[in-house]
Amino acid sequence: MKLKAVNEKALTNCSASQQMLAKTTREGVETAFHRALKKKPCPYGVGGTCCRICYMGPCRVSDNAPGAATGVCGATAETISARNFGRMIAAGAAAHSDHAREVALTFLAAARGEAPGFEIRDEEKLRAVAAELGIEAAGKNKNRLAEEVGLKLLAEFGQQEGELHFIRRAPAKRQEVWQRLGVVPRGIDREIVEMMHRTSVGVDQEYVHLMLHGMRTSLADGWGGSMIATELQDILFGTPVPIRAKVNLGVLKADQVNIIVHGHEPLLPELMVAAAKDEELLLAARGVGANGINIAGICCTANEILMRKGVPVAGSVLQQELAIATGAVDAMVVDVQCVMQGLGTVARCYHTELFTTSSRAQIPGAIHLEFNHENGFEVAREIIRRAIANFPKRRAVEIPTEEVDLVAGFSHETINYMLGGRFRASYRPLNDNIINGRIRGVAAVVGCSNPRVRFGDLHTTIVRELIANNVLVLVTGCAAINCAKEGLLIPEAAELAGSGLREVCEAVGMPPVLHCGSCVDNSRLLVAGTAIVKEGGLGEDLSEVPVCGCAPEWMSEKAICIGQYFVTSGVTVGFGVAFPSTGSEKFSDYLFGGIKEHVGATWFFEPDPMAMARQIITILDEKRKALGIDVARERVLYDMEMRRKLEVV
């Protein structure tokens, strides 16, 4: 296909991606970047007021367009946008939670010895979670205990009444807010189903009432599905600790068999990493003239195996097609979420074999080799064998040289240990440094990339500005990968930080930007925020702590769900690109303002990265002021009595 020239520099700040964009344009291989340039977004869809839930329409309604005030049924812009927003939350919660369900099932199978290649690795965390769930551990071996933990958490998906267990992890004051609003989730699947029901034609027509259920559904994700995924993955694969690795397309090797694992569930990729060390397969690789088998990741699968195994990261979501365009990817293995259908077409233009592996997802043009926990090793070995056989079929190869160092693996447990030290793991030093002003506050920069904005640039611009202003930054998902590519995830990046943050980073030896994992690991940030509250001195609820979140390049429904569970948890969240409520003034006023009366936090929309960074800093400063720590002051020493009062669980 003949493609129009594109301005690569305007499309991304990533030089490796620019190089591959030029290559794909030259070779007539269309990518998401090219398609985005051709497609003009529908303004009704952008503003969240295109209603497609029945067939009397579709109705395109807008407060801003005269004559388009309601749909055929009389639905107003605020009802339509709230319904659409609720459905995005439900879809995001469903994605994270279905991932969690799959992990829970594999976890159970591993505990029962029915999943070859999988075993319970972090017994300490298993015992801690079991105790939290009220499971008696005495006299039980790890597999028996894991089975009980797995069954208990799996039951939360189909639970009809009661409350999700991990809700109790939240600060007591936050739990009271949720009780008052009636938004404590009963069961994960139940809230998602009810969201779909309420938003079907002719049911819930009141936008605040709709959003209250949106909040409940979001909590079923953040403190439910996502948190279950994180905890069980940690127990199954090991809780992450800081680990060095490499990132960007330069991690692909011209002389090795390159296999990219892409998607979200770390189950099969874990086995692939192990299988790639198999002597027989290495011998087969040498037999076709390759010097080894190189596994690299894309998207959140990459984050998962990076954090636990130090596996190199080829790139974030918008680099999935560009990676294949190097001509050096012998196989790409995908499962679920954020996998573009365009991969099938791009793979056909090169020699790459594309494998779908989940029972829930197939792509035209891909080879389907279904993974389940019994056959995992065979599937992993089969894919590697086929990749080896594919290696000699490479045509012209062009691999960008960019390959950058990073440090990942900052789980809540690691932050606790690292800051508190070997003898007294605690958040005390972090709290003290926030109180004394060395650290202004904590910002989470998370989420996707979107070809509607300059890829990677918004994340890194915001992060640079934040750390320069002494804001400690936590990153997850594709935002984490993009920041890593710019060298922001190494201790040396402390040079870019303001003097206070720099001093703390240098004392501890940590980067000013901490990689906390994949998108389901945003649940780690809720736990970390709660640990700050629990430690004392920074308020009694998440809404009082100087923390803020943002997803400046978002595109996925999952991002909306994550944003909403942060807001519902009391943390204000900013989104860039565009915002799917702006077609309705009333609904936007609620999300950007009125919702604060309910949960003590709001959404905000800011497409300009510098303005977003400034807004985050303003929010942190306001919190500091409310806490009375806006002026540097002496450290307050909490005695045991004061601490007990602050205990939140």
Minimum distance from CB of 468 to ligand NFS (Å)?
24
CB of 315: closest distance to ligand NFS in angstroms?
A: 10
Sheet with 573-575, side-by-side order of all strands: 513-517, 471-476, 441-445, 547-551, 573-575, 603-605
Query: Which CB sits closer to ligand NFS, 145 or 227?
Result: 227
Residue 265, exposed/middle/buried by CB under 10 A (0-12, 13-18, 19+)? buried
Tell me how far, at minimum, the Cβ of 554 lies from ligand NFS, in Å. 7
The residue (of 245 and 479) whose beta carbon lies closer to ligand NFS is 479
d(CA 168, CA 174): 10
Q: What is the C-alpha separation between 186 and 195, in angstroms, rounded?
A: 13
Q: Within 10 A of 341 (CB to CB), how many other CB atoms are there? A: 10
Contact range with ligand NFS by CB under 6 A, out of 253-261, 553-561, 590-598, 636-644 = 553-561
Report yes or no: 216 and 184 within 8 Å, Cβ to Cβ.
yes
Among 91, 317, 532, 578, binds ligand NFS (CB under 6 A): 317
> Per rule CB under 6 A, is residue 299 in the interface with ligand NFS?
yes
Residues 328 and 252: beta-carbon distance below 8 Å: yes
Output 320 or 352, the one with its CB closest to ligand NFS: 320
With CB under 6 A as the rule, give the number of residues binding ligand NFS.
14
Encoded one letter per residue, x for contact with ligand NFS by CB under 6 A and - for no contact, window 357-396 reads: ----------------------------------------
Q: Are 605 and 582 in contact (CB under 8 A)?
A: yes
**Does 478 carry a binding-site annotation?**
yes
Interacting positions 250-269 with ligand NFS (CB under 6 A): 264
- If the CB atoms of residues 252 and 299 are measured against ligand NFS, the closer one turns out to be 299
- Distance of alpha carbon 530 from alpha carbon 18, whole angstroms: 41
Of the candidate spans 102-110, 532-540, 554-562, 628-636, the one that interacts with ligand NFS by CB under 6 A turns out to be: 554-562
Q: Is 50 among the annotated ligand-binding positions? A: yes
Among candidate residues 56, 61, 50, the one with its CA nearest the CA of residue 84? 50
- Report the candidate in 505, 280, 497 with the shortest Cα–Cα distance to residue 407: 505
Contact between residue 272 and residue 305 where contact means Cβ atoms under 8 Å apart? no
Q: What is the distance of C-alpha 156 from the center of its chain?
A: 22
Phi-psi region of 525 (alpha: psi -120 to 50; beta: other; left: phi over 0): alpha
Q: Minimum distance between the CB of residue 306 and ligand NFS, rounded to whole angstroms?
A: 13
Residues 476-495 that bind ligand NFS (CB under 6 A): 477-478
- Work out whether 300 is an interface residue with ligand NFS (CB under 6 A): yes
Distance separating alpha carbons of residues 424 and 417, to the nearest angstrom: 8
Does 264 count as an annotated binding residue? yes
Distance CA 3, CA 419 (A): 52
Among 558, 598, 623, 624, binds ligand NFS (CB under 6 A): 558
DSSP character at residue 352: P
Q: Which residues, 6+ apart, have CB-to-CB distance to 393 below 8 Å?
A: 351
519 in a known ligand binding site? yes
Q: What are phi and psi of 56, to 5 degrees?
A: -75, -20
Give yes or no for residue 556 binding ligand NFS (CB under 6 A).
yes
Least distance from ligand NFS to the Cβ atom of residue 165, Å: 23
Site string for ligand NFS, 215-254 (x = CB under 6 A): ----------------------------------------
Q: Are 460 and 488 in contact (CB under 8 A)?
A: yes
Determine whether the annotation assigns residue 96 to a binding site: no
Stretch that binds ligand NFS, among 14-22, 53-61, 111-119, 551-559 (CB under 6 A): 551-559
* Cβ nearer to ligand NFS, comparing 44 with 85: 85
Site residues for ligand NFS, 324-343, by CB under 6 A, read 338
What residues numbered 442-461 form the site for ligand NFS, per CB under 6 A? 447-448
51 belongs to an annotated ligand binding site: yes
Check: CB of residue 561 under 8 Å from CB of residue 639.
no
| Chain residue whose CB lies nearest ligand NFS | 448
Detail the residues annotated as belonging to a binding site for [4Fe-4S] cluster: 42, 50-51, 54, 59, 73
Please give the residue ranges that form the binding site for ligand NFS (CB under 6 A): 264, 299-300, 317, 338, 447-448, 477-478, 518-519, 556, 558-559
Detail the residues annotated as belonging to a binding site: 42, 50-51, 54, 59, 73, 264, 300, 338, 448, 478, 519
